[in-house]
Amino acid sequence: MVFQMSMESFDPRCTLGDGIGESLRNMGISRTETRRKVEELLERCGLEKEYADRYPQIVYLSCV
C-alpha cells in the first residue's frame, strides 16, 4: 500500500474523477466508459462512487 497526500497527488482544480480518468481519456476511452471505470476504481479502494465529483481538498479534509 502506498500512502499519499491527496493535496499533493491531485490537481486541486480538478475533481478526483477528472484526475483519475485523465489517463483513460488520453487513451481514447469514451467519457461514459471512463466514468464507469473511475467509479469502479474508487469502490475497489473503499470509497463511494460519489467521491468522483469531489475535489481533493474536500476529500483530504474529511480524512484528517
The predicted-structure confidence for 3-35, as pLDDT tens digits, reads as follows: 666 556 777 888 999 999 999 999 999 999 999
Q: Which amino acid is at 21?
A: G
User: What is the pLDDT averaged over residues 27-53?
Assistant: 95
Predicted confidence at residue 59, as pLDDT, reads 72
Instruction: Tell me how far apart the alpha carbons of residues 37 and 7 are, in angstroms, rounded to a whole number.
Output: 22
Average pLDDT over residues 32-46: 95
pTM over 0.85? The answer is no
